Amino acid sequence: MRCGRQRRERLDHVDDDSVRIARFVFALSFFYLEASGYRERATTVEIQPGMDLQGAVDSHPEGTAFLIAPGLYRLSTPIRPKNGDSFIGQVACAPPQTTCPAILNGSRVLPPGESSGNGFRIAGQTPHAPTQDPKHCEPGFPRCIYPQDLYLDQKPLTHRDSADGLNSGSWFFDDAAHAIYLRDNPSGHLLEIGESFAAFDASPANNVAVKNLTIEKFASQTTLAAVGTNVMPSPETGANWVVENNEIRLNHGSGVRINFGWRIRNNYIHHNGNLGIGGGMGLIRSTQPSRVLIEGNEISYNNYARVKPGFGAGGVKINVARGLIFRNNYSHHNQGSGFHADTDNIDLLVDGNTITDNTDEGAFVEISYSGTVRNNKLFRNGFPDAEHWLYGANLLSSTSRNVEAYCNTIEVSAQGGNGMDIIAQPRKGYTSGGNFFHHNSVVFDGNSGLTGGGGADPSEPDFYSENRFDYNAYHLPNVDRPAFAWAGKRNTFDEFRAAGQEAHGTVDKLTGATPDVVITSPLDGASISGNVAVTGNARANGASVVKAELDIDWSPQASQSSSPFNFSWDAASAATGRHVLAVTVYNRTGVWSCYAITVNVGVQHSGQ
């Protein structure tokens, strides 16, 4: 990047060692932004608490970098960026390990109010109107569709539909009386109500960066988000944002809403009212590559407003995207699915994620086409949804075509949930076929839960011939239990095999935790030739690794008895084109797991 003549403005005086160090880190971030496609910043503006952030944006040109000092910034209206602007916390942070002390807050502080019956009343408040039908709310949470939340000492209270019978931790907004009621005494506590609908407005700005910030308590609608374009998606407007190293929490709707070219990396997105991450490209955009990458985020405890997961709630739900990559995220304890690709997601990659303890599906691909789900740890999802037919699965393909799932490790909780399932439901214009689940390990902790498939749509008579399970390993406490759904009934493993599935699969008693394995070189998507070193690590969670096996396109090539492993593969022996390279490791009891990447032999290939 050329330094040239850079105009530098100081809007307030700050001169201590931490800020000088932060400026150095901030300057280094320019090189990262340049490498990501951002043009040179002409202006750096330092922002201090109490300043008019939007006024600073309005008075500076496109491409300004706003360096935001630690402190609380209450936004009464969303920020409207210009093309190429960046909003970066002055102090580098890596949540949840370290906090982000520059805080964008969408709430306002309320007075303690006055005693009223068995609780307290705060008069003179103006409500925001509900945004959806009450049918979207779970029973007992009728006001999930109201965008404002009440926070008592950083905790969102449950919004009830009457002032009668309020208990500790709940509140009611009497719209007609313009009054708030709550049971807890707010005196001496911080009481806030969500007011601004987003941290960043439905702006046409492209190439915006949002980094190192805490973003909290925005009154976003359940279908919208605190960070996002909040308009119809477009590759020309609101595109190519970088959202990185932020803590995004306590917003009523979603934390982030995607658009074309977005990179959402290494954020801690938790305790939002509906989704951690949502959005999509729109039905008319399904033919255009989304260029969306969601990577390295922790996404947890979302949907405190209790939207029905069937309407889209929980960790992540994406509608309509081509080429979306969801990689190396940790999605856990969400009220809903951990990851849900719903409707016209094409060429999807779900890779290397840990998805655990979500109340609905772990990884869920629905009415979509051509997806790969691999290298994921999918543990204890689907409880308490339990065995509601084949839903509540750790891995589920529903009315989708050509979904391939391999090298996933699945644990079915003894309390409920299902394993890995393929189903068909009546969906006009969509069928289920070409799905292949292979080389996965499925552990049942107890004697509940199913794995397999079922076609509930009579218009799909070929369901049981078009979808396949093979080469999978199942570990059950009772190997004779009918845990395999197929052809409209529950089957034993032998019956499942007799029906044409798992010709090469295995079943045995639970023998311990599956080993962990990762390939470190070559990189996924690499173009290779000649002799290639295949290296990586494995560990067996208390049991020694006794064998590592290299497969090329699922054909064994070599094995060794050590970890870290180091194989040599002569790529000249492979045909030109794309190949799957996998390493399978075994512990001393014979339990195995695998890790796979794709490489390109003799051709140049670039991906996200």
Written as six digits, the tokens of 35 are 């490498």
Provide the pLDDT for residue 202: 75
Q: What is the mean pLDDT of residues 542-555?
A: 88
- Please tell me the least confidently modeled range out of 38-42, 411-415, 505-509, 518-522: 38-42
List residues bridging with 585 in a β-sheet. 548, 593
Q: Which residues touch 52 (CB under 8 Å, ≥6 apart)? A: none
Pick from 519, 444, 517, 429: which is nearest to 482 by CA? 444
Q: What is the mean pLDDT of residues 80-90?
A: 97
207 and 87 share one domain: yes
Q: Which residues touch 271 (CB under 8 Å, ≥6 apart)? A: 156, 249, 250, 300, 301, 302, 304
Share of the chain above pLDDT 70, in %: 89
Provide the pLDDT for residue 285: 59
* Region of 21 on the Ramachandran plot (φ > 0 left; ψ -120 to 50 alpha; else beta): alpha
- Cβ atoms of 513 and 542 within 8 Å: the answer is yes
Written as six digits, the tokens of 13 are 């005086």
Q: What is the mean pLDDT of residues 153-176?
A: 95
Provide the pLDDT for residue 117: 85
What mean pLDDT is reported for the chain? 89
Provide the pLDDT for residue 449: 94
Confidence of residue 545 (pLDDT cuts 50, 70, 90): confident
By CB atoms closer than 10 A (0-12, 13-18, 19+), residue 402 is middle
Distance CA 313, CA 307 (A): 6
419 and 501 share one domain: yes
- Cβ atoms of 209 and 38 within 8 Å: the answer is yes
- Cβ atoms of 112 and 87 within 8 Å: the answer is no
Confidence of residue 253 (pLDDT cuts 50, 70, 90): very high
91 and 151 share one domain: no
pLDDT, one tens digit per residue, over 4-55 is 323 333 333 333 444 444 444 444 444 444 444 444 445 999 999 999 999 9
Confidence of residue 533 (pLDDT cuts 50, 70, 90): very high
Provide the pLDDT for residue 456: 66
Is pLDDT of 325 > 60? yes
Q: What is the mean pLDDT of residues 255-270?
A: 97
376 and 487 share one domain: yes
Distance CA 34, CA 331 (A): 30
Is pLDDT of 64 > 60? yes
473 and 498 share one domain: yes
pLDDT, one tens digit per residue, over 462-489 is 899 999 999 999 999 999 999 999 999 9
More confident of the two residues 357 and 459: 357
320 and 408 share one domain: yes
pLDDT, one tens digit per residue, over 434-461 is 999 999 999 999 999 999 999 866 666 7
Tell me whether residue 608 is in a domain.
Answer: no
362 and 229 share one domain: no
Provide the pLDDT for residue 22: 45
Q: What is the mean pLDDT of residues 335-359?
A: 96
- Please tell me the least confidently modeled range out of 15-19, 260-264, 425-429, 509-513: 15-19
Tell me whether residue 84 is in a domain.
Answer: yes
Tell me whether residue 607 is in a domain.
Answer: no
- Please tell me the least confidently modeled range out of 18-27, 56-65, 125-134, 231-240: 18-27
Tell me whether residue 245 is in a domain.
Answer: yes
Domain count, the chain: 4
Provide the pLDDT for residue 12: 35
Q: How many residues does the chain have?
A: 608
Distance CA 227, CA 217 (A): 12
pLDDT, one tens digit per residue, over 101-159 is 999 999 999 999 899 988 999 999 999 998 888 899 999 999 999 999 999 999 999 99
Pick from 92, 47, 77: which is nearest to 65 by CA? 47
Provide the pLDDT for residue 18: 43
Tell me whether residue 606 is in a domain.
Answer: no
Q: What is the mean pLDDT of residues 309-319?
A: 92
354 and 467 share one domain: yes
By CB atoms closer than 10 A (0-12, 13-18, 19+), residue 119 is buried
Q: What is the mean pLDDT of residues 579-595?
A: 93
Could you identify the residue written with the tokens 């990396």?
A: 265
Q: What residue type is assigned to position 307 of the chain?
A: V
3-class SS of residue 29: helix
Bridge-based pairing state of the strands 531-539 and 506-508:
unpaired
Q: What is the mean pLDDT of residues 574-602?
A: 94
3-class SS of residue 330: strand
Confidence of residue 603 (pLDDT cuts 50, 70, 90): low
CATH number, domain of 570, equals 2.60.40.10
392 C-beta neighbours (distance < 10 Å), count:
27
- Cβ atoms of 454 and 496 within 8 Å: the answer is no
30 and 70 share one domain: yes
More confident of the two residues 203 and 397: 397
Task: Single out the residue in 508, 526, 560 at which a domain terminates.
Answer: 508
Provide the pLDDT for residue 28: 46
Cis peptide before 564 (omega within 30 of 0): yes
68 and 211 share one domain: yes
3-class SS of residue 161: coil
277 and 288 share one domain: no
Tell me whether residue 43 is in a domain.
Answer: yes
Task: Single out the residue in 168, 191, 214 at which a domain terminates.
Answer: 191
Q: Which domain holds residue 461?
A: 283-296+305-508
Confidence of residue 543 (pLDDT cuts 50, 70, 90): low
3-class SS of residue 502: coil
Q: What is the mean pLDDT of residues 200-218?
A: 94
344 and 272 share one domain: no
Q: What residue type is assigned to position 244 of the chain?
A: E
Task: Single out the residue in 159, 191, 223 at which a domain terminates.
Answer: 191
